Structure 1
Amino acid sequence: MRDAVENFLNTAAARILPAAVLVIAGLAFFWHLRQPVQDRGIPLALTVWEQTSSIARDLPFIAERLSEQPSRASVETRLSTHPFWLATKAKAPPEGGNWAVEFPSRHAMDLQCWDRHDGRLLGQVDRDSDNGGALKATRGGFALNVAAGTEVVDLICRSTFRGPAKLTAQVWGAAALNAAEDQFQRIGSMIEVGLGVLAMSMALIATINRSRLYWAFVGWLFVSMRMALLSDGSDFLLFGMPLPAALLTPMRQWTVCTYFVLTVTVFGLLFRQEMIDIGARWLLRLQQVSCVLMLLLCATLSFEQVLPVLWIGSALLFAITLPQIYRTLRRPHSRPALWYASSIVVALVATLNEVVAAAIGQQALMRGLNSVTAAIATALLASAAVAEHMRTDRRQREQAQRTMKAAYDDSPIGLFTVRDGETIVNANPAFKTMLGLSASSEALPLACVFGDEVVGEFLMLNAMAAPAALDLQARPLNGGANGRDEGGERWFAIKASTIDGRIFEGSLQDITERVRATSRLEFLVNHDPLTECLNLRGLSRKFERAQQPPKTLAYFDLDRFKLINDLYGHGAGDAVLKQVCERIRSQLGAADLLARVGGDEFVVAFPHASIAEASQRCQNICALIASAPFQIDTQRFALSISGGLVATDGFGDAELKEIVSAADTLCRMAKKRPSERLVVMDGGDAFFKHHKNELELIGCLERGETPEGLFLMMQPELSLNAPLDSLNFEVLLRMRKPSGELVPAQIIIEAAEAHAKTAIIDHWVVSTTIAWLEAHASQLRKTQFVGVNLSGSSLNDEAFVEDLFRLFEYHRDAVSRLCIEITETVALTDMVHMQRFIDRARDLGVKVALDDFGAGYSSFGYLKGLSVDALKLDGSLVRDAASNPASMAILAALGGLVRSLGMKSIGEYAENLPVLKALVAAGVDYAQGYAISRPVMPERILEADSAADFITDPEIAAFVRKLQARDPHTIPLFSERADAALTGMLH
């Protein structure tokens, strides 16, 4: 029933109502054309004087002014609002009886008339009231009724006007004037009826179609009716109700302005697409701007000011628009443009008819064609344009429906309609094919196709009875077109929407491949693609779902695995990693989880194992990895693994990544203990304190901030040639927490190196050292060099290196005392790059030393390629030189080599007097160690005169004084037996 009503209303709106309206309006138009031409009275000659001042004048003065004016048939007021005085003499018409003198101006607002001979007031009238006398409102103006028997009246009248008024006067017989008045009223009524019915019917059409064009046209028809009434002089009533004089002029002003705006608006809505097609979009914008401007002017200017603007603006806009209408008419399928252009032509012809007729003194050139018939005809033709537009829209909609029906049937996506949330009432072939339904299936229950979950969603939205949509994935009950084939179950995406909860329009799309791809992608997101074990994200998600962390967790890192990739390629490395995972899995329980978290790093989570059980399994893993080489083709690779194991109960509610970080810290400890492959957290406070400090440092460095509490200490380096003449030292990093607790430098460096943030620490150390040297330059006269360590990762950071050299450039005096210490293994990594760094540093006066020389894979040959200033001998070469002749021989060889290369040598770990003597015997230039001094605060350095001032052992102090005043051959360094042995080795 509801659909039938909707169809009837649509048919009525599209066909019945437009046809009925056009018939009614057409009858009104032809009725008006068949009306006889209105009789006209006998025109009178007038003398007119415009009173431009507000000074009151008596009637004799007015009569004198009028006598000076020429006699004319009509006078234009030219929009003036001043009072106009007119004089005329009228004779009774030949037919006799009562007669009248008419002043037919619809713009006259009031009228007063006097007898010219005796000055007697004959009557006065305005648009609001009749004050008695012989003057009455008639047709569009006023008339003075004269009694029968009066042959001549000599009148002086005063009137005011609003608008483009024309002053005329006519003599009428009473009967003829009454007949003209009746015809005038009928015409006004027909205008209101014709255009009013047209507007109301169009309002119904607009309501049904919900169209802006139709609503704009409704407004245009109503305003057109008012314009026709204004042209006819019968707009003093609004639907039969008289308009007050105070509202009449504003009503006329807004009528003409609104008519302009609505005419332009209807044109723009009617021909928007046509204008765009011919490239006249600018015209639409121009029309929009003109409408806005006209409304603003209408709101701010008076009626008399608005009219000239409106006339000029309309003419210009019409002249601009007309060529575009012509271009549109030349295009095919432009019937709306043809009807609209016809309405414009009728309006122009009617206006031209009246203008030319008035110019030659005729009532009309073409019988029945005037402003009133033109208004009705224009409305009819414009209605025809809108009707044609409606017809075109309807045909386009029907074509679109046919296209949509074809697209519906041919769509590769399954389309369907569900009624009341439970019955499939319509479906396209693709839908039936996807679900394996027969082509004749109709009115199929939804529950026969999909499970209860899908049916429940539809029924829930049906119960809501409101606009809604659903989007879900489901499997059909029968498995789809292919059922449970070799590819597995079929999955479909169901999307449906409803306006009222009753009719659902939906689509069905096979997403089986997408679901499989998503599952694979999810697997890859949570797993390592090479080994197919979990990654760190997957491991975290496992325990997030369980809402409980593992009981214990281990972190493993393969030792020297990078060599396999470097020597044999990543293919061999990948194969080794797969075998490593197999060996690790072989030692795990059913509930244990393995994750690969880096290139050669693994995490094992033990959900239920105690620390003892987990420790045993981890020991087994380490032993199994190292027990036998890994075989890849013909290659065999021996590997070992380091690990750290933590119990999670000491971490409280910490996230898994924090527990992993703690295990990583233990793993790094294990790597530094060659004899201990697994480090287990003992649960003591020392580890948690160490780990907490490391985490705090990491967090600070990750934010790019310099940790608070950093400070410098300094360890003197004693000259073994002139110990009392120099005060050299190495800068060492320390950190004090707000609580006063000292954080070891090793923790700071490890945290920075583990997260590639050493540049932050090194920049602080260098800049702070330079600032201290500049502040105390006068107290450091004996200081030739100050050692500052730079890490390898900082030296490989181009941004840090450039910042470092800018700092050196700005502080040239202070950096002349710096000695940058570079670890030997770092220097050997990229000797070309390192030599460029050394050359730039030395050009600025900075000294460069190789640190820990002898700790790595030292080769004397590479010293030729690195032009450093000093070698800092590793403690492993120094600490037992006094007791081990082999070590002494190596030390002596290095001392001679360094001197031959023009470098200085510095011996670390000088812990006692015998080591000092060995360094002197080997020809080493400087010594650093506890035999001289432990690290001291910078203030202690400023209080000293030389490095020897820090020595507290009397024997060492005496030996140093002998060094200062010595002849090298007179100082016994060893016992005679040891000296003889050393001499034998050297020679």
Structure 2
Amino acid sequence: MPDENPKSPDTGKRDPLTETEGLDLVGILSSVEETAYVWDLRTGRLDWESNAAEILDVGDLSKISTGAAYHALIAPEHLNVRLEVFARSVGADPERGVPYRIQYRLRPGGLRSGKEVRLEDQGRWWPGADGHPQRARGVVRIVDDHYLEQQRRLVRNDLDELTGQLNRMRLTEALATVLSRTEREQRSSAFLMISVNNLAVINETFGLEVGDEVIAEVGRRIRAKLRGGDIIGRYSANKFGIVLMNCGAGAVHTAAERFINAVRDTTIKTSAAQLSATVSLGGVIIPDQANSVHDAVNFALRTLDIAKSKRFDCFVLYEPSPSGDGARLRNKTIAESVVNALDENRMRLVLQPMVSTKTGKPEVYEALLRMVRPDGSLVAAGEFVPIAEQLGLSRLIDRRTLELTVDLLKQHRELILSVNVSGLTCSDKEWLTTLRRVTAGHPDVLRRMIVEITETVALHELDQSVNFVNTLKELGCRVAIDDFGAGYTSFKNLKLLNVDMVKIDGAFVKNVANDTSDQIFVKTMIELAKTFGMETVAEWVGDERSAKYLTDAGITYMQGYYYGMPFDSSDYVKAA
């Protein structure tokens, strides 16, 4: 009968590679430099696995056969770390025990010896009738510098430094895994976004460090109210994301109320004072209401905004809205179309003339952007620019418009072009850098360019607008205020901006031939602009009577469909 536990022919020891029956637990522990113990804290007796003497290099197990003897070998600066583990009796679970995991240095040859090993000690202790530790079981393993660096790297990569919860990357990865699992198992879970409501006031009153203390404590309180398997991570500055496993629409309200109460019911002790905090929550059921990480996060954030808009801390669960979802889908489609058009050079300029009232001829042209669809059809700027501005794409659009404008000015040395820029461009140093770059060696191009900024933007960031205008004028450009009259800019601010041209909003022009109040308004603006030495442009001129009134009132230029529809810039030579 063959040997069922063959031995190595060289050493006579059991060969783990050919072991066929049972588990050699001692051998497994030894192979990973670990050993195990059972500690009776009432008697002090400490029983070790048979490999402990070899792993810990103590020579004889009798040297560590009691808790006191083992503690005598722990480095003095680390001894309290281990003792404190068994001093915490509050909340001890007599069934499951109290888990612990610590690291310390052990000197196997005694405290005066030069030999030292670094250990990680992990286990559980169980309380007696008095609630104090009675028995402990654990595993001790040797750890080296490589292992410690791996642990530090793991913490840095997985956890948020302030709160100790999962960081944003790991949170979204966990959410993706849960989404996949819930779809496969046909179970519902929930994703919640939680925000600390009054953090801005705390930061302003007590400073950012105290605000950080509040964030960290809120995270700890919420984590303490999670069930086993639930996940929490820090999504952004004052927001936490929570994945609630196997949680439907009914249960999620109960869970949300539990989190709200955990933060609201007791004050938070900080280095400055005892503070109160509240939280608001938004949530979505997955995968029922969202089957992707992007949708789950967006829907949770959207409902969180609704919850925060209320006057009290509360929870709002996502409710699908066909009209809202349709609008978001349209916006997403527009954004993708804009990005693709920019990448594929499918942006084009059309020109609309500004006719001089003195000569009756076009002397300036406004450059208007059009997006070319893959099928060749054109999309007016009004259909995509507002959405692009909301999504932060306006800077890219303005830079492309600038490049097209300068190219056209270089081709036609007699052409004068007016070009619009968005509010974001007034603070975009890269746009000015691009302007200098594409006009280098062509000062005549700068002199033939008029940059239009809207009145509302100019008023909103007046100091910034003044600097932007001054820089453009130093370069040689002229500057116009567009849609003047639509906002609330005073003529004092208009003078402060020191622009060259005022474009009167078309709302005051389209009925100027018949509306007395519009006539008074337009006439006043023309006269005051002349006082400041500024040229004027009337937009939306649509008929002969309006053109005559504006000419008699002293307007400098007129622009509108009465003088023709915008035409493709490639046809400029024919038009000229």
TM-score by length of 1: 0.33
**CA displacement at 1:909 relative to structure 2:** 7.7
Given candidates 817, 820, 825, the residue that maps to 2:449 is 817
Question: How do 1:84-483 and structure 2 match up within 5 A?
Answer: 419-422=11-14, 452=24, 455=27, 472=32, 474-476=34-36, 478=48, 480=52, 481=56
The structure whose Rg is larger is 1
Which of 910, 918, 932 aligns to 2:507? It is 910
For residues 398 and 435 of structure 2, what CA distance do their matches in structure 1 show?
A: 9
Amino acid at match of 1:965: D
Letter of the 1:577 partner, please give it: I
- CA separation of 1:966/1:518 partners in 2, compared to 1, >3 Å: closer, same or farther? closer
Distance in 2 between residues matched to 1:591 and 1:610, nearest whole Å:
15
Give the aligned partner of residue 343 of structure 2: 706
Contact 1:643 1:667 in 2 (8 A): yes
- Structure 1 counterpart of 2:106: none
After TM superposition, list the pairs within 5 Å mapping 1:18-33 onto structure 2: none
| CA offset digits 1:532-570 (Å, max 9, x no partner) | 332223324534665426744355677896786577542
* Amino acid in the other structure paired with 1:452: D
1:104 maps to which residue?
A: none
Cα shift at 1:841? 2.5
CA contact (8 A) 2:249 2:285 kept: yes
**What is the aligned counterpart of 2:191 among 553, 556, 564?**
553
Identify the residue that residue 385 of structure 2 maps to in structure 1.
Answer: 745
Mark the CA change 1:848 to 1:699 in structure 2 (over 3 Å): closer, same or farther.
closer
3-state DSSP class of the match of 2:507?
coil
Separation (CA, whole Å) in 2 of partners of 1:522 and 1:528: 11
Pair 1:527–1:788, CA change in 2 (3 A) = same
Query: What is the match of residue 437 of structure 2?
Result: 806
Given that residues 194 and 282 in structure 2 are in contact (C-alpha distance below 8 angstroms), is that contact kept between their aligned partners in structure 1? yes
SS in structure 2 of the partner of residue 548 of structure 1: helix
2:525 to 923, 927, 932: 923
Residue deviations 1:552-596 (CA, integer Å, cap 9, x gap): 435567789678657754213313433654787799877654321
Report the Cα distance in structure 2 between the residues aligned to 1:635 and 1:611, rounded to whole angstroms.
35
Deviation, 1:805, is: 1.3
The 1:650/1:818 distance shift into structure 2, 3 A limit, reads farther
Could you tell me which runs of 5 or more consecutive residues in structure 2 were left unpaired when the two chains were aligned.
1-9, 38-47, 57-63, 72-81, 86-99, 104-116, 119-139, 183-187, 530-535, 556-576
Pick the aligned partner of 1:898 from 482, 494, 503.
494
> Taking structure 1 as reference, are residues 575 and 602 closer, same or farther at Cα in structure 2, changes over 3 Å only?
same
SS in 1 for 2:437: helix
CA contact (8 A) 1:706 1:761 kept: no
Amino acid at match of 2:522: V
Offset of residue 607 of structure 1: 4.0
**Structure 2 partner of 1:842:** 473
Identity %: 15
State the shift of 1:630 in Å.
9.3
Question: Could you tell me whether the CA contact under 8 Å between 1:905 and 1:926 is conserved in 2?
Answer: no
* Cα contact 1:555–1:602 (8 A) shared by 2: yes
Query: Residue 329 of structure 2 corresponds to which residue in structure 1?
Result: 689
Contact 2:395 2:422 in 1 (8 A): no
Q: Which amino acid in 2 is paired with 1:821?
A: I
Identify the residue that residue 788 of structure 1 maps to in structure 2: 421
The size of the alignment, in residue pairs, is 428
Equivalent residue for 1:537, pick from 153, 169, 192: 169
Task: Please list the CA deviations of residues 269-288 of structure 1 after superposition, one character each: whole Å capped at 9, or x if unmatched.
Answer: xxxxxxxxxxxxxxxxxxxx
Q: Say if 2:504 and 2:522, in contact at 8 Å, map to a contact too.
A: no
Is the CA contact 1:820–1:846 (under 8 Å) kept in the aligned structure 2?
A: no
- Residues 841-880 of structure 1 aligned to structure 2 (within 5 Å): 841-848=472-479, 870=481, 875=486, 877=488
Structure-2 change in CA distance of 1:516 and 1:738 (3 Å): farther
The answer as to 2:407 corresponding to 1:771 is yes
* Residues 1:577 and 2:215 aligned together: yes
1:966-981 correspondence to structure 2 within 5 Å:
966=553
Aligned CA distance change for structure 1 residues 515 and 760 (closer, same or farther; 3 Å): same
Change in Cα spacing, 1:672 to 1:958, as seen in structure 2 (3 Å) is: farther
Q: CA deviation at 1:511?
A: 0.9
Give the superposition deviation at 1:530. 1.6
8 A Cα contact 1:774 1:814, kept in partner: yes
Instruction: Name the CA distance, whole Å, in 2 between partners of 1:638 and 1:490.
Output: 33
Distance 2:359 2:434 in 1: 36
| Superposition pairs of residues 51-66 of structure 1, within 5 angstroms | none
Deviations 1:361-406 (A, max 9, x none): xxxxxxxxxxxxxxxxxxxxxxxxxxxxxxxxxxxxxxxxxxxxxx
- Secondary structure (helix, strand or coil) at the match of 2:398 reads helix
Once the two structures are superposed, the pairs formed by residues 628-643 of structure 1 within 5 Å of their partners are 633=272
Cα offset, 1:528, TM superposition: 1.8
| Amino acid in the other structure paired with 1:961 | K
Match among 214, 220, 234 for residue 596 of structure 1:
234
Alignment partners' CA distance in 2, 1:673 and 1:711: 42
Q: Give the alignment's TM-score, normalised by structure 2.
A: 0.52
> Displacement of 1:598 after TM fit?
2.4
Q: Secondary structure at the match of 2:525?
A: coil
Give the aligned residue type for 1:769: T
CA RMSD, Structure 1 to Structure 2 (Å): 6.3
For residues 535 and 576 of structure 1, what CA distance do their matches in structure 2 show?
17
Structure 1 residues without counterparts, runs of 5 or longer: 1-417, 425-446, 459-470, 494-507, 850-869, 878-890, 928-945, 969-987
